[in-house]
Amino acid sequence: MNPLFEPIIDGIVTHGYGIVDDFLSLGEVKALANRLHERHIAGQFRAAGIGNQQILVENAIRGDEILWIDEATATPDETAFLQLIGEFVQYANQTCYLGLREFEFHYARYPAGTFYKRHLDQFRSDSRRKLSVICYLNIDWKETDGGQLALYLPDSDSNSERQLTIAPTAGRLVCFESGRLEHEVLPATRERLSITGWLKTG
């Protein structure tokens, strides 16, 4: 069993979120970032959100481009990633009885200067989304590059909240309860890459 599964689950149970570094090795990050770039150059990415007349509205909310990872057309690196997530789902179900049945993941590419305003993942589209998972693919990311994930954590003994900012460094995984934690992607000074997905009940 992967020794990083336990600290992720432990974080979710105690704080509502889990963060681990080196969930992906540098080799895995490089391979997945290469696949992302190849697929981007091949024109496979689409602006995230909805299309048509809504694009202007959507751009004010989020500026990323995404590509869903399809098992049928996955490369070996992508298949290995999906397998790792499958093992994590199994572990999460065994330890927390979450009843997770399926998962969906997409690549996300935020061009420099783009962002994703404060939002809740579950509210947006799918109440079967239980856990949000983000794996970052940004090699040599520096604090000054920006692009942090901001989590808004409710403070239990007051009506206030606390903002936790997390740098999107290569190999880092962040996981949180999709229906509970509002969050935001802050603008970065360089392209920001990730694989983002949701673990869902059936």
Residues near Mn ion (CB under 5 A) are: 121
Q: Which of 100, 131, 135, 149 binds ligand OGA (CB under 6 A)?
A: 149
Half-sphere exposure of 94 (CA within 13 A, CB side): 9
Q: Select 90 or 102, whichever has its Cβ closest to ligand OGA.
A: 102
Q: Is 121 in the site for ligand OGA (CB under 6 A)?
A: yes
Q: Which of 185, 193, 195, 199 binds ligand OGA (CB under 6 A)?
A: 185
Q: Which does 194 bind (CB under 5 to 8 A by kind): ligand OGA, Mn ion, none?
A: ligand OGA
Q: How far is the CB of 195 from ligand OGA (least distance, A)?
A: 9
| Cα dist from 153 to 56, 174, 183, whole Å | 30, 14, 9
Q: Select 35 or 183, whichever has its Cβ closest to ligand OGA.
A: 183
Unique residue bearing structure tokens 């934690």: 181
Q: Select 8 or 108, whichever has its Cβ closest to ligand OGA.
A: 108
Under DSSP, the state recorded for 62 is B
Unique residue bearing structure tokens 């109440």: 127
DSSP notation for 67-111: EE--GGG--HHHHHHHHHHHHHHHHHHHHH---EEEEEEEEEEE-
Q: Select 101 or 118, whichever has its Cβ closest to ligand OGA.
A: 118
Q: Are 98 and 92 in contact (CB under 8 A)?
A: yes
Which residues of this chain interact with ligand OGA, rule CB under 6 A?
Answer: 108, 116, 121, 134, 149, 168, 183, 185, 194, 196
